[in-house]
Chains A and B, each alone.
Chain A
Amino acid sequence: MPDTSVKSPVLSRLGGAVRWDTSVGALLVVLLICSFSFVENFGNALNVSFLIGNTLPIALIALPMAMLVVSGEVDLSVASTAGLSSAVMGALWNAGMAIETIIPLCVLLGVVCGLVNGLLVTRLGLPSLAVTIGTLGAYRGIAQIVLGSDSVTDFPAQYLDFGAGRFGDTFLPYAVVPFVILLAIAVVVLHATRFGRSLFAVGASEEAARFAGVRVKRLKLAMFVSTGVVSALTGVFWTLHYASARYDNATGLELSVIAAVLLGGIDFDGGKGTLGGAVAGVFLLGTMQNVMSLLNVSAQSQTVATGVLLVVSVLAPRIGRRISQARARGRTAAPPPLTAPSP
């Protein structure tokens, strides 16, 4: 982190107060309050459960994605991994395999997808953006080979109920439970363990982290595998939630995930951000989408609104940092460090 060293105490206190992820959280709260008060049909339990159910796939993948981006890498193949997992699930189900076997196999598939990405990035030193654009196409292609353009819908009722149902008449879908567990794990790992601190260190400066004894490659490989596993699980959830295994499930989801993660204040260059911010970003986007639908905003305008929000979310923290840097420089520049004789 090159820029934090020169900050006046006032500015850093100000910077602490208006941290981007905190403001996203606040914005989410404001949006929720406004929607509950002013948007017709928003506040009832059924709608909130729809909102959560539709946002969960993004929220699930956002957890490992946020950590991956913190470490300075990105995975664009997550939606294709989910699609592949869904296709494999459908194909194995059609072949007569038990669903209790299929789900662990899908997780295994996620491990393999993540390993391929991770090994290509860490062993061959390729940029993750390029590698995962490649596997984005490849995994989706394999998914289509596996299942064709078939759709499989006859999964056992109790699993479908888990995917789409909610606790009684409350607003909580069943599937919130695994999400909360994963969220807790992710928060502890990223913000309270050596592994998490190493991720930040690698994202801030890979070289420095390596000299400090962090096993950079292994760390990244572990993150790619985790991302693969969660993506595959999301594919399973998606299949049950929409009662349909298709090769084109979750198409384009990677963009929503990355948009939400960046909106939540995870720096695309790595080294900065919090999971709280990322989750707030996810639900801010999800709530906006839900509200816009209830207000009859057309699909096209919704896409535009999301896009604008994303650009703003990437720009705003940067501009903020630029301004604070400029101010800091203005102060330190006043007494210029002249030709101080250095030893």
Chain B
Amino acid sequence: MPATTAGSRRLTLALATVTALALGATACGGTTKDDASKDSGSAAVGKADPDAKTKKGLTVAFLPKQVNNPYFTTADKGGEKALRELGSTYKEVGTSSGTDTAGQVSYVNTLTQQQVDAMAVSAQDPGALCTALKQAMRNGVSVVTYDSDTNKDCRQVFVSPASAEDLGRTQVELLAKQIGGKGEIAILSAAQTATNQNTWIDFMKKELEKPAYKDIKLVKVAYGDDDAQKSFQQTQGLLQEYPNLKGIISPTTVGIKAAAQYLSGSKYKGKVKLTGLGTPNDMRAYVKNGTVEEFELWEPAKLGALAAHAAVALESGQITGRKGETFTAGDLGTVTIGADGVVSPGEPTVFDKANIDEYDF
């Protein structure tokens, strides 16, 4: 077919031209990762007045990673309660998928439009929300992130679940105790990009460097993407790949539940130890049937409450998000802002057979 050959020749020519142009552009020196300058302007502006009166009648919106996710529902309820006590209004919006970053951006934009006074956001992606959040702050909206942070110049305060260091190190302590201080262990995380997970895992690795853990070997970090099915399969894969595995740490509520589900139905039940971060309601059955001895979590309601208090304190001008500033947060007492505008509600709670029935979330 002569016509086709002519056509494909023309196509080849076009492709060649595009490639040549592209390479030409590089030769002429384009913008690469190295020359992209980073503007790291601090979000905190103005002066804090710790004695300023706490404002009432504010509207604070919560934008969780995912609505109808039990963990965030509990956290946001904590925020709602705190706001009611402070005399302000609570509202919650968000996407039904945990990875719909475009949807989350458009919710931030909508809240900016609706002129809420402050928003508490749990970011699905550290970078994607930045432009929208900066725009919100320029329009006078105070921005707090909770549970999952954005880049630090895109919000004023980050409410971290518990100090990242505490969380990372204590999970290793819990597992080491359960496996008698020796053997191969693995980590089942959420997404490879999840900032909080990665920080905890770094602290776990640091903790493991201590001489006390010289007989423990971390063989793999697996990623279940906070998807129950995928986490289940990853657990199965870990046990097949490492027959001598003694324990798994899963610092994600979805991951630990899926891993517990797999272990509890397999021959490894009770033999391979599992710990990490889970909710009492998710894990109750597995603690009672002997699959899991101990796991831990901060109380999400406290997290939400602290986010609410931080939002109101920002909007009242009591804090700006700088290190060393303090504000009062109801039952949580006085909170001091740490480096990079991070605050946290304190040490995580450890759950076991003895105390798990005291909690309902």
Q: Are B21 and A157 in contact (CB under 8 A)?
A: no
Shortest Cβ distance from residue A116 to the other chain B in the assembled complex, whole angstroms: 14
Q: B22 touching A151 by the CB < 8 A rule?
A: no
Interface size class of A (residues with CB under 8 A): 35 or more
What number of residue pairs across chains A and B have CB atoms under 8 A from each other?
Answer: 140
Cβ of A5 within 8 Å of any chain B Cβ, yes or no, is: no
A157 to B151 alpha-carbon distance, docked (Å): 15
A244 at the interface (CB under 8 A from B): yes
In the bound complex, do residue A98 and residue B31 qualify as a contact, i.e. CB atoms below 8 Å apart? Answer: yes
Q: Which residue of A lies closest to B109 (CB)?
A: A50
Cβ contact of A96, chosen from B33, B95, B100, cutoff 8 A: B33
For chain B, residues 121 to 166, give those with C-beta under 8 angstroms from any C-beta of chain A: 125-128, 130-131, 135, 139, 151
Q: Is B32 a contact partner of A96 (Cβ separation < 8 A)?
A: yes
> Is A94 interfacial (CB 8 A cutoff)?
yes
CA distance A157 to B130 in the complex (A): 12
Closest to A292 in B: B110
Say yes or no: A154-B33 contact (C-beta < 8 A), given A50-B106, A98-B25.
yes
B96 touches A293 (CB 8 A): no
Contacting residue for A244 out of B31, B103, B125, CB 8 A? B125
- Chain A, residues 257-277, CB within 8 Å of chain B (1/0): the string is 000000000000000000000
Shortest beta-carbon distance from B326 to chain A in Å: 32
Complexed CA–CA distance, A41 and B112 (Å): 10
Give the nearest-CB partner of B150 in chain A: A153
Number of B residues with CB within 8 Å of any CB on chain A: 56
A215 at the interface (CB under 8 A from B): yes
Most buried by B among A96, A156, A299: A299
Instruction: Pick the interface stretch among A102-110, A184-192, A305-313.
Output: A102-110
CB within 8 Å of B: which A156-198 residues: 156-160, 164
Bound together, the chains give a CA A150 to CA B192 distance in angstroms of 6
Contact A156 B106 (CB under 8 A): no
Q: Would B128 and A244 count as touching, CB distance under 8 A?
A: yes
Query: Which residues on A are within 8 Å of B, measured CB to CB?
Result: 40-41, 44, 46-47, 50, 54, 93-94, 96-101, 104-105, 107-108, 111, 148-160, 164, 215, 218, 238, 242-244, 246, 248-251, 289-290, 293-294, 296, 298-300
Q: Which residues of B contact A (CB under 8 A)?
A: 3-4, 7, 15, 18-19, 21-23, 25-26, 29-39, 67, 91, 93-96, 99-103, 105-107, 109-110, 112-115, 125-128, 130-131, 135, 139, 151, 191-193, 223, 225
Sample 26 A-B pairs with CB under 8 A, ordered by A number.
A40-B114, A41-B113, A50-B113, A54-B109, A97-B26, A98-B29, A100-B22, A104-B22, A151-B126, A152-B127, A153-B127, A153-B151, A154-B36, A156-B36, A159-B31, A218-B7, A242-B128, A244-B125, A244-B127, A244-B128, A246-B128, A248-B99, A249-B101, A250-B102, A296-B93, A299-B96
Extra 8 A-B pairs, beta carbons < 8 Å, given A154-B36, A244-B101? A46-B139, A98-B30, A99-B30, A99-B32, A107-B18, A153-B151, A156-B31, A248-B99
